[in-house]
Structure 1
Amino acid sequence: FTSEGYAAGYYGYIWADVLAADAYEAFVETGNSYDPAVALKLYKYIYSIGGSVDPAQAYRNYRGRDPKIEALLRARGFPVK
């Protein structure tokens, strides 16, 4: 990277992809990409809270754990054990 600022910004994009892929896997794990119960949890713990909860804690509340990079690796076609 040519500058630290660019690298930090790019990292932010990759981290957003990790969060999105891992959040989507909650749906995949149910076998239903439109599972209403998972959608309600996503709304309750992520979308409806705004900035009232620390984002990392909000994600833990939604998934019950920290995000895992394996979801992004799978989404991009890498083999994951």
Structure 2
Amino acid sequence: ELPLLIYFLTRMGLVSAGFLRKYRRHALVILLVVAAIITPPDIFSLILVILPLYGLYELSIKLAERTERKHAREEEQTPETAE
């Protein structure tokens, strides 16, 4: 669900790929806390949960970059009317 959420936030202009890259360390800490809460007190389980979560975060960054490039191309192609 994270990539889908990031996609819509990027489309609305609330989040950018640069923002996600800048706060990557903070996101990792938050993901570690979430993984620690939802898993049993076992480091192996924590690692099994954090790897896919972090992978989804990285995928979200790539998706945000792609969405930003697509939006920029759409703006270039639409002729602006002078008023």
* Structure with bigger RCO (C-alpha 8 Å, 6+ apart): 2
TM over 0.5: no
User: Normalising TM by the smaller chain, what interval?
Assistant: 0.3 to 0.5
* TM norm structure 2: 0.34
* TM norm structure 1: 0.34
The structure with the greater share of residues assigned to helix is 2
